[in-house]
Amino acid sequence: MRHFIEIISTEPDKDFMGFAKQGESVLAVVRAYKESRSGNAAWRNRAAFSTANVLFQFRAIPGLNVNTAMQILCAGERYRITSVEDVHERGMYIVCLVEKIEPSKG
């Protein structure tokens, strides 16, 4: 677990006056294991998630339910979560399959 990642919520927030504002809020900063897509057997078995090109594994965060509406920020790169899985359903580790968000060229 060498990489620091930020788990980000991109849902609209409310400001101090109660107005909705578009913004991001950092929900957690954790260390994670990062694995890029390769030709090994594990990635071939994940063929259903063909858009996913990176896997992040990190310890479960008490009180935080990671879901596909969130994003991950790692080393200045942004990733969209496509799948969330509890490893062995023990509540200890979370595996997220993600796809890199490429900035649009204007």
Report the CATH number that the domain containing residue 91 is assigned in CATH. 2.40.10
Determine how β-strand 77-86 pairs with β-strand 25-36.
Answer: unpaired
- Say if residue 92's pLDDT is above 60: yes
- C-alpha 30/C-alpha 12 separation (Å) is 23
Percent of the chain whose pLDDT exceeds 90: 49
105 in a structural domain:
no
Give, in order, the Cα–Cα distances in Å from 83 to each of 18, 23, 77, 93: 32, 23, 18, 14
Q: How many domains does the chain have?
A: 1
54 in a structural domain:
yes
17 in a structural domain:
no
47 in a structural domain:
yes
106 in a structural domain:
no
- C-alpha 27/C-alpha 9 separation (Å) is 7
58 in a structural domain:
yes
User: Residue 60's domain spans which residues?
Assistant: 3-12+22-100
More confident residue, 61 or 38: 61
pLDDT of residue 40: 61
What confidence tier does 20 reach under pLDDT thresholds 50, 70, 90?
A: confident
